[in-house]
Structure 1
Amino acid sequence: MAFFLGEESIMAELVGAVTKVTTGFLEVNAISIDNWGFKLFYKWTTSLLVFCSVLVTARQFFGSPIQCDAGAARGGIEQNVLESYCWMYSTFNIPREYKGACSAGDQDTNLNTIVYNSYYQWVPLFLIFLAVIFYLPRCLWLLWEGGLMKFFGKGTTTRFIEDQDEKREKLVQFFCRNIHNKYNIYFCGFIFCEFLNFIIVIFQFYLTHRFLHSRYIDYGFKVWQYYLLPPEEQQMPGVINPMCYTFPRIASCDYWRWGTGGQQESINAICILALNIINDKVFLVLWWWFIFVSIISFIRLIYRGIQCRSAFIRYQLINMRMNRYFKKSSKIRKIEEFVCSCKLGDWFVLYQLSKNLNRPFFMDFLTALSVRYTDKNQCAEDPEETGGDNLVTMLLKPSYTTQDSTKEPGKKGDNDDDDDE
């Protein structure tokens, strides 16, 4: 009985740990500091790459990655030794007269050098490496963002907010003192991370192309063209199956060993690369996915440039999120004037806040900020700070998630909600 209770306890802890990690990674009920386009890279692409890396190592589903046949010489060969050797040193150079499928007839006839396929054993690690690269812009943005959204969202994201007037006034004062006309670099940092996402997806195409011996750059398009052909045309001489060309399932191996007379002898073996029945499909899915995210990333960069040039579009983006409240507001003119005239950094912070804060509370906050700016001009910047923070200043800013920073807005430590941390 105690044994089963122990097993249940371990299983419960394991499930809890997995749930916690998954919730954290998928950002369930978390503050949003980016957008859906950004998440395509660091969340969905990274998850896809890790899943594919695990998939290609699942021998229980696809069997041994390589199996070799040495023909008449197999009686005096240790099979495990042969397969281990051929897994490292098998080649694509199969005799042209070999009639097996996905082999000689599908290989490049102009190969002047021996091309080894040993890089397949590095596929899982290569996919993990790509996943790490795709997550780097997220790490960089986490560093630059510094917990600003978490600071603003402290106690203001739930449906019911205590002491709304006091919290709103604190955040308005904090925005005027620390954000207004000082956060253009914050917005530029995010655009740089978006641009870095685009550069990474282009770079990985080149990297994967080199990793697969220059057989990948147009892989997905060629596979699509091949399977559009009628079955009888696919079997015609000279028609190459791109999946067999890039990921052949038959390999040749010249195994050298010491013979009975003390001389070296070569044994030629034909090997089945069973793992390639999943490799070809994994990299096909990745090829189309990378094309998709690269197009999305490019479109978003163009859209971001238009956004920077048009105050009207920036206002409409907030209006789309707050349309129901904007229609009811008597201060809509002041809000529009403020949003259209504020700098890019101010607008970006406000737009991010509109995605995280309780919407009625954000509407009150934006209204108070707009009235203060247009009527009282209490958000006027200091003469020395009109240019915004430079990169060094931003990196030296303390994180807004620290305990001391939660007391910054109102300068009233006794009245702050320290228990909300």
Structure 2
Amino acid sequence: MAVFGLVSSVAGFIKVRYLVDKAIIDNVVFRCHYRLTSAVLFLCCVLVTANNLIGDPISCINDGAIPGHVINTYCWITYTFTLPGQHGRQVGTAVAHSGLGNEYNQERTFHSYYQWVPFMLFLQGMLFYTPHWIWKNWEDGKMRMISDGLRGNMTLSMEERRGRQSRLVRYLFDSKKTHNAYSFGYFFCEALNFINVVGNIFFVDKFLGGAFLTYGSDVLKFSDMDQENRSDPMIEIFPRVTKCTFHKYGPSGSIMKHDALCVLALNILNEKIYIFLWFWFIILTVLSGLAILYSAAILMMPTTREVVLKSRFRTAQSGQIENFIRRIQIGDFLMIHLLGQNINVTSFCEVVQTLISQLNEERPVDTPSAPSTLEMAPIYPEIGKYDKEKAALHQEYEA
């Protein structure tokens, strides 16, 4: 029940965030980093710290000369080891357990990562959330404010809807060519996502002693090998039984050596967690790379921006979108593109059509004054909730 409570807390955290932050300020791949991946890593962190699932994380047996709690604590806070030359041998006849045997003059593989796994998973969860945190603070709720009242609101009368659209168009018109810093922040954080997932792959590889890069492919190869001639890579990296050596002084003052066999029950979870993370990081790296290429095409090729805008604004006349794209900058396009993800297609088409008309006339239709996001507060009641200090900052930013 304790585990269920912790997992529910993680799920509740994600749910609350989703309900509060209604405005869409990124794309699906971006959300896979901070919502899905961070949630999975935090959930795994909870699971590996839940001792009631697996019992004690380590349990060692020895010749009885060392108390059980002493040898358990010692082997947990120091390290245990296996013999790589003993993997793949027949268990029960050649060796007692895979990776164990007579260690004289044999290479040893030391395992000291297991006590750090929860901290590592938590740190990774924070790393995957960081680009979103940077972008959210950079974006500062602008999309939420300018789309408020039109985002998901289907109860407005025609007059109210057109009034909100008119104010929104006026804001977009008078603030054109001032959003390049906004777009830079978005593309910068999107690049951080790609760097982060690639960096995490090498980070985990270093953490596991250089075994993570080929971990998933080795597991796939293992499943195709003959039963007689194969060594499970999951047991090699996450052994279930290891050896530990404890030294103490004997009655005469000489150093005595005591060997112990340690059962690492925690590794039954670790091996499943990291095989999942291996495949997921590969998938996320590919998706993030494609997102970077897509953003690069948006930045460098106006024709790509035209195709993206035409996919939502299908009622545009021939040549209208091409002319519109060439009269706005990349920051303006990103604002309009994100706006299209937050309001319905009808409202979006009307907003873009009115904006195109005003650009053609090169003057606002309703009023010559340039509205800031603060001035939109009478139409968007939620903006009034912001305190005076934040409102002043927004007004200064828009100026």
Match in the other structure for 2:170: 173
Which digits, 9 at most, give the CA deviation of each residue in 1:100-133, with x for residues without a partner? 333238x9x974xx65422211101100001101
Letter in 1 for 2:214: D
Name which of 367, 378, 392 aligns with 2:353.
Answer: 367
Rounded to whole Å, the distance in 1 between the matches of 2:191 and 2:382 is 39
Match in the other structure for 2:187: 191
Rounded to whole Å, the distance in 2 between the matches of 1:15 and 1:93 is 34
Instruction: Note closer, same or farther for the CA distance 1:95–1:206 as it changes in structure 2 (3 Å cut).
Output: closer
Name which of 23, 27, 31 aligns with 1:31.
Answer: 23
8 Å CA contact 1:103–1:249 kept in 2: the answer is: no
Whether 1:346 aligns to 2:336 is no
How far has the Cα of 1:166 moved from its partner? Answer: 2.2
Name which of 144, 149, 158 aligns with 1:150.
Answer: 144
Name which of 68, 73, 76 aligns with 2:60.
Answer: 68
Rounded to whole Å, the distance in 1 between the matches of 2:242 and 2:8 is 45
8 Å CA contact 2:38–2:128 kept in 1: the answer is: yes
Rounded to whole Å, the distance in 2 between the matches of 1:253 and 1:348 is 58
Rounded to whole Å, the distance in 1 between the matches of 2:218 and 2:380 is 61
How far has the Cα of 1:342 moved from its partner? Answer: 2.2
Letter in 1 for 2:375: E
8 Å CA contact 1:247–1:279 kept in 2: the answer is: yes
Q: Secondary structure at the match of 2:261?
A: strand
Q: How does 1:45-64 map to 2 (within 5 A)?
A: 45-64=37-56
Rounded to whole Å, the distance in 2 between the matches of 1:87 and 1:154 is 54
How far has the Cα of 1:89 moved from its partner? Answer: 2.7
Q: Secondary structure at the match of 2:177?
A: coil
TM-score by length of 1: 0.78
8 Å CA contact 2:83–2:109 kept in 1: the answer is: no
How far has the Cα of 1:53 moved from its partner? Answer: 1.1
Which digits, 9 at most, give the CA deviation of each residue in 1:18-52, with x for residues without a partner? 88633233357711000001011111110111111
Rounded to whole Å, the distance in 1 between the matches of 2:84 and 2:326 is 71
Whether 1:219 aligns to 2:215 is yes
Q: Secondary structure at the match of 2:246?
A: strand
* Structure that is richer in helix per residue: 1
Instruction: Note closer, same or farther for the CA distance 1:406–1:310 as it changes in structure 2 (3 Å cut).
Output: closer
Rounded to whole Å, the distance in 2 between the matches of 1:247 and 1:360 is 56
How far has the Cα of 1:289 moved from its partner? Answer: 0.5
Instruction: Note closer, same or farther for the CA distance 1:147–1:420 as it changes in structure 2 (3 Å cut).
Output: closer
Match in the other structure for 1:408: 375
Rounded to whole Å, the distance in 2 between the matches of 1:285 and 1:210 is 18
Identical-pair percentage: 29
Match in the other structure for 1:89: 78
Q: Secondary structure at the match of 1:87?
A: helix
Rounded to whole Å, the distance in 1 between the matches of 2:11 and 2:210 is 40
8 Å CA contact 1:174–1:408 kept in 2: the answer is: no
Instruction: Note closer, same or farther for the CA distance 1:200–1:153 as it changes in structure 2 (3 Å cut).
Output: same
Q: CA RMSD, aligned part only?
A: 2.9
8 Å CA contact 2:142–2:373 kept in 1: the answer is: no
Which digits, 9 at most, give the CA deviation of each residue in 1:227-250, with x for residues without a partner? 12132332xxxxx43212211222
Match in the other structure for 1:210: 206
Whether 1:259 aligns to 2:245 is no
Rounded to whole Å, the distance in 2 between the matches of 1:28 and 1:271 is 48
Rounded to whole Å, the distance in 2 between the matches of 1:55 and 1:407 is 46
Name which of 263, 271, 276 aligns with 2:262.
Answer: 271
- The number of residues matched between the two structures is 361
Match in the other structure for 1:377: 362
Match in the other structure for 2:342: 356
How far has the Cα of 1:206 moved from its partner? Answer: 1.5
8 Å CA contact 2:10–2:43 kept in 1: the answer is: no
Specify every segment of 5 or more residues in structure 2 that has no aligned partner in the other structure, as ranges. 1-5, 87-93, 365-370, 385-399
Instruction: Note closer, same or farther for the CA distance 1:291–1:419 as it changes in structure 2 (3 Å cut).
Output: closer
Q: How does 1:282-301 map to 2 (within 5 A)?
A: 282-301=273-292
8 Å CA contact 1:315–1:340 kept in 2: the answer is: no
Specify every segment of 5 or more residues in structure 1 that has no aligned partner in the other structure, as ranges. 1-13, 235-239, 380-403
Instruction: Note closer, same or farther for the CA distance 1:138–1:227 as it changes in structure 2 (3 Å cut).
Output: same
Match in the other structure for 2:98: 102
How far has the Cα of 1:343 moved from its partner? Answer: 1.6
Rounded to whole Å, the distance in 2 between the matches of 1:359 and 1:29 is 21
Rounded to whole Å, the distance in 2 between the matches of 1:33 and 1:95 is 50
How far has the Cα of 1:90 moved from its partner? Answer: 3.5
